Every structure is written in C-alpha cells, then in structure tokens.
Amino acid sequence: MLVGGEAAGGAASRLGQAGRAAWLGRAAEGTTETVGYSSFRAFKAANGSAGEGMAWHHIVEQNPSNITKFGPEAIHTESNLIKLPNGAGSIHAKISGFYSSKMPGTSMHIRDYVKTLPFQEQYQFGLDALKRFGY
C-alpha cells in the first residue's frame, strides 16, 4: 500500500475541471499515492464528513465480495473515495442508479457484473461512470 499524497475527495474536489481531469487520469494509471484504511469508518475518522449535500463515493464499490478479494485497505483508500454531490438528481444518485440497473439483454445488474472484474478494471469502470454522469 502506498502512503502519502492528497485525498481524492480533497484534491480532486478543489482542482476545478482541468485539475479533476488530470487527477482522474493519474488515478486511472495507478500513480495517485494513497493511504488505505481498515474500514470506511476509519477513513471517515481520518478524513471527516464529505460535507453538507455531499457523500463519499467509492470508485471501486465497497461490497463484501470486493473487500474479501482486495482487502479493506484497497477499498477504503484516499484514491478510491471521492466527494460527490448527493441527493435526488445528483451525480451520486445517478451513478448509484446506473449500477443498480440491469445490463442490456440480461437479468444481471451492472454492479453484479462489475464486481467480477479485477480491481483496476473496476476502477476504470468507476472513473468512466464518473465522467459519464458529469464529473
């Protein structure tokens, strides 16, 4: 696990559109240094609340399958969590709805498909979802 660097929610949310694009590019290449935590609670204790009207969003989802496969320190990292606007019609709500939708022509939910992918592919899928819904 790499240690150091700025938190995703801190760095990316302060940089503006060009900075976010650059941060997302570095994150996709795996070059964003990060700190891993044993739980989401521990992450929030260190990094605080996402803020009013905001939510912490896991790029690679936190679910039992991912935590078992990759470990909590890989899921609850500063480069895997980002602050997003939250509430009805927000980017966070749109991404959650997308992951809950069914894959075209199947009865499988998108999130169930994504969790079968390796970590880096899930991460890229999550970055693509952020871009798709306006981040």
Residue 3 lies in a domain: no
Is pTM, for the whole model, over 0.95? no
Tokens of 72: 């909590």
The parent domain of residue 68 ranges over 8-132
Q: How far apart are CA 8 and CA 20, in angstroms?
A: 10
Specify the pLDDT at position 75: 96
Residue 1 lies in a domain: no
36 three-class SS: strand
Mean pLDDT of the 69-79 span: 95
The sign of the CA dihedral 33, 37, 39, 43 is negative
Residue 74 lies in a domain: yes
The number of domains in the chain is: 1
Mean pLDDT of the 73-91 span: 95
What Cα–Cα distance (Å) separates residue 114 from each residue in 60, 87, 118, 122? 9, 24, 9, 6
**Position 23 confidence tier, pLDDT thresholds 50, 70, 90:** very low
